[in-house]
Chains A and B, each alone.
Chain A
Amino acid sequence: MKTLTTKKHSFLVFLGGVILAAMACGVGAKPLNVVTFIEKPLIYQHNGEPAGVVVSVVRELFRQSGIDYKLRLMPPKRAILTTAETDSFCVFPVERSQEREALFQWVSPVLISRHGMFSHPHVPVKLKTLEDAKPYKVGSYLGSGVGEYLEGLGFNVEYAGRNELNARKLLKKRIDLWVSDIESARFLVKNEKLPISEPELVFFTTVRAMACNLAVDPATVKTLQKTITQMYRNGDVESIYRSRD
């Protein structure tokens, strides 16, 4: 066929324009795929979308950086693996550690967490130092950097799919100590009215970051890092955290 109908012609002109525009913007213009995972009360699902104070920090980070992104939820272990293996992915909040340093590019911190060990209300385990917990079976969740940290120190760590499952395992005496970010644990204990009291020992502080695949444009990562540092310095992060109280 040598001629085109006007409608078809208009459509192809439009399509060509879209393709040209996309080419002009280049690959870097694709929105970054950002994934996170539920960690109540810091991150939860609201109307099918990720919400919570850490999500607010990251949304503000992208807004101030002027970088386009798509945000969605995944289970923690899958989120980390997907990001490690897929070009345009970032995941937060991941515990940054020397062992993980070379696997990702980092934007940090998006959250600072303290981690504690909780014992069963009827089988208290008194801890003065972390070493005191060595003889016990401790529960963590898949993808947890703190779980990996303890395992590296020779602890007997048993992993659950999600953090909250450990509280139930503790109460059923399937583990002796539950290792958790203390804020998440306190929320869970309060929300579900669990008979678990304060941590026996708050033993570790983690810098939790947004980890990006190694193929993400380093300039993008640098811009995000510069922005988050600025957000801490000018009080934006503190304001977001304060706004939830």
Chain B
Amino acid sequence: MDEMRWFIQAAKPFRGMTIRVVSERIDTHVYESNVLTRAFSDITGINVVHELTGEDDVIKKLQTQIQTGVNLYDAYINDSDLIGYHYRSGETVILSDYIEAEGKSVTLPTLDLDDFIGISFTEAPDGRVYQLPDQQFANLYWYRHDWFARPDLQKKFKAIYGYELGVPDNWSAYEDIAEFFTVHVKEIDGERVWGHMDYARTDPSLGWRMSDAWLSMAGAGDKGLPNGYPVDEWGIRVIGCQPAGASVKRGGAIDSPAAVYAVTKFVEWLDKYAPPEAKELNFTEAGEWVSKGNIAQQVFWYTAFTASLTDPDLPIVNEDGTPKWRMAPSPHGVYWDEGMKLGYQDAGSWTLLKNTPPMRRDAAWLYAQFVVSKSISLKKTLVGLTPIRESDIESPVMTERAPYLGGLVEFYRSRGRDVWTPTGTNVPDYARLSNYWWQFVSRAVEGKETVEDAMRQLASAMDAELQQIADESVLRCKPVLNEVESEAVWLKRDGSPKAKRNERPKGKTLSYEEAIRAWQ
């Protein structure tokens, strides 16, 4: 209770204030908005309006406050994906400096930055911390463990494909399993089932499928952790810290064979193996879809939805509360090589802007620390299942909950949590560049363009925007584009962009135990 006593004291100068914060709309933030704001207000006398909205809205609002100077919010919970912008722009409070200087009196002595498993995501290349993790989730493979374990389905799968039904190690196996359930099994217990689930409405969240991980799972970037270097999972090349181009002709990989392969598979699987509704869904609507009980697997599923899949009344949960499903490492595409990041993990993180009035910023910082404090964090983790602290993950209560969480605890206790990483620092202005993904990929999804054309146009648009950022901004490490060279020349060089490979090797699967061993 020492922490609570500290909050009471530290909040005295701010009593009676109402502060405004905003975050995206997932279970963890719903808990903060509905429950923790009330507790914080009761303890400190500071009222908090914690707004929930779409992640794209959070980004747009943050961008608006920076561009206009209008104090929209006193703090933002913004993905660490924007770290490339935060450290380049000079608009964001550098937390590691702030807590040592002007924020010292309002910084919780037991904050313990080293206890945050995602703190490296919020550190810039200058070694300073710009954001404080609030919730963390990964994109993993999700599947119906109970169906995969059925002898009749195992036998049928082996008869058709010649290998075991199990956790897919590569995209060929994922594709085979998708076809197996959608085309060959079709019904289980009288219900129509599907071998694949995704979402693809023309919406900002469509872009996240690509920018978060499809290209990285396919293997579009270079080797290196947390992000490929010099070409990252977005396909942006850097020289030092300066973005040098996204198109192959400038040394990037957004229109490379690997990227085209990635998006081709995305569209093909959606058309052939997902429920027809998938094309009309966005991130939020699709999140809980697998809980309906008619999806066999999902290549790229957000663990932020774990809490909503543990309800004992769901058809995917056993009577004893254990899940019928499991999460495992996502399969990789043919351009992926050992040593590359495989999937995506994100730390929604507290971000303070320099143009927020200091008094309001300090009060908001108290709320930020309250919702991640050691007194609150474990309970919040158990509610939202988006762990941020090592001490929570290693706690006895998480050991007790592990059998009910389908592999979540095993993932966070393994080295996997370091290999699944967010968007890196090659992206100089996430808010400006992220729009292009959904705008161009949607053309391929809707059949208006071929995948090749859509990606070529995306690459051109991304190059043009990088150039414009260079021309207009005062960012440090701003883009300096490479001169155009022949694509053939770039594809012959080592690393990304990579020349075309055999895109349909034989499928390979693993047992669940073998698959999760990759995390250990």
Binding site for B on A (CB under 8 A): 96-99, 101-102, 108-109, 112, 128-131, 149, 153, 201-205, 207, 229, 232-233, 237
A205 CB contact (under 8 Å) in B20, B47, B52, B438: B20
For residue B251, give the distance in angstroms from its CB to the closest CB of chain A: 27
For the complex of A and B, 8 pairs with smallest distance between CB atoms: A98-B54, A232-B68, A98-B56, A131-B34, A102-B202, A98-B57, A207-B64, A229-B67
Residues in A with CB closer than 8 Å to B54 are: 97-99
Which residues of chain A come closer than 8 Å to B22, judged between CB atoms? 205
Residue of B49, B53, B72, B282 near A149 (CB, 8 A) is B53
Given known A101-B56, A201-B49, A205-B20, contact A129–B64 (CB-CB < 8 A): no
B51 close to chain A: CB less than 8 A: yes
Q: Is the CB of A108 within 8 A of B64?
A: yes
Q: Is B386 an interface residue (CB 8 A)?
A: no
Query: Which residues of A lie under 8 Å from residue B61 when comparing CB positions?
Result: 205, 207
Contact A205 B202, CB 8 Å, known A98-B56, A112-B70: no
Q: Within the assembled complex, what's the spacing in Å between the Cα atoms of A207 and B61?
A: 7
- Is the beta-carbon distance between B33 and A129 smaller than 8 angstroms? yes
Tell me if B322 counts as interface (CB < 8 A to partner A).
no
Q: Are B53 and A97 in contact (CB under 8 A)?
A: yes
Bound CA–CA A156/B64 (angstroms): 30
Q: Chain B residues with Cβ under 8 A from A131's Cβ? A: 33-34
The complex places the Cα of A109 from the Cα of B63 at a distance, in Å, of 11
Knowing A203-B49, A204-B51 touch, does A102 contact B72 (C-beta < 8 A)? no
The number of residues on chain B lying at the interface, defined by a beta carbon within 8 Å of a beta carbon of chain A, is: 36
Which residues of B line the A interface, CB within 8 A?
A: 18, 20, 22, 33-34, 37-38, 41, 47, 49-57, 60-61, 64, 67-70, 72-73, 201-205, 282, 438-439, 442
A97 to B67, CA, bound (A): 18
**CA A102 to CA B440, docked complex, whole Å:** 12
Q: A98-B203, A128-B38, A207-B61 are in contact. Are A112 and B49 (CB under 8 A)?
A: no
Given A203-B51, A205-B72, A205-B73, 16 further pairs, Cβ under 8 A: A98-B53, A99-B54, A101-B56, A101-B203, A102-B201, A102-B439, A102-B442, A112-B64, A112-B68, A129-B33, A131-B33, A203-B49, A205-B22, A207-B61, A229-B68, A232-B70
Q: Is the CB–CB distance between A97 and B68 below 8 Å?
A: no
Chain A residues whose C-beta falls within 8 Å of the C-beta of B49 in the assembled complex: 201-203
What residue of chain A has the Cβ atom nearest to residue B61's Cβ? A207
A207, B53: Cα distance in complex, Å: 12
Q: How far is the CA of A191 from the CA of B51 in the complex (A)?
A: 30
Residues in chain A near residue B67, CB distance under 8 A: 229, 232-233
Contact between A128 and B60 (Cβ–Cβ < 8 Å)? no
Q: Provide 12 A-B residue pairs closer than 8 Å at the C-beta atoms, listed in order of the A residue.
A: A98-B55, A98-B282, A99-B282, A108-B64, A109-B64, A112-B64, A129-B37, A131-B34, A149-B53, A153-B52, A207-B72, A232-B69
| Contact in complex: B69, A233 (CB < 8 Å) | yes
* In the complex, residue of chain B having the shortest beta-carbon distance to the beta carbon of A232: B68
Q: Which residue of A lies closest to B68 (CB)?
A: A232
What's the minimum C-beta distance from A215 to chain B, rounded to whole angstroms? 14
A153 vs chain B, min Cβ distance (A):
8
A202 partner residues in chain B, CB cutoff 8 A: 18, 49
State A138–B441 Cα separation when bound (angstroms): 38
- Give the nearest-CB partner of A149 in chain B: B53
Q: Give complex CA distance A98, B207 in Å.
A: 12
Q: Which residues of B contact A109 (CB under 8 A)?
A: 64, 68
- Residues on B with C-beta less than 8 A from A229 are 67-68
Nearest Cβ on chain A to B55's Cβ, whole angstroms: 7
Contacts of B50 in A (CB 8 A): 129
Q: Give CA–CA (A96, B63) in the complex, Å.
A: 13
Closest Cβ of chain A to B75, distance in Å, is 13
- C-alpha gap A99/B38 in the complex (Å): 29
Give the chain A neighbours of B202 by CB distance below 8 A. 102
A128: contacting residue among B41, B68, B72, CB under 8 A: B41
A97 x B204 contact (CB < 8 A): no
Query: How far in angstroms is the closest Cβ of chain B from A238?
Result: 9
Return the chain A residue nearest B30 by Cβ: A131
Measured CA separation A237–B61 after assembly (Å):
18
**Residues in B whose Cβ lies below 8 Å from that of A96:** 57, 60
Does the CB pair B205–A98 fall under 8 Å?
yes
Contacts of A97 in B (CB 8 A): 53-54, 57
Q: Report the minimal beta-carbon distance from B317 to chain A, rounded to whole angstroms.
A: 23
Q: Identify the closest chain A residue to B438 (Cβ).
A: A102
Residues in chain A near residue B47, CB distance under 8 A? 128
Report whether B38 and A102 are in contact in the complex, using a CB–CB cutoff of 8 Å.
no
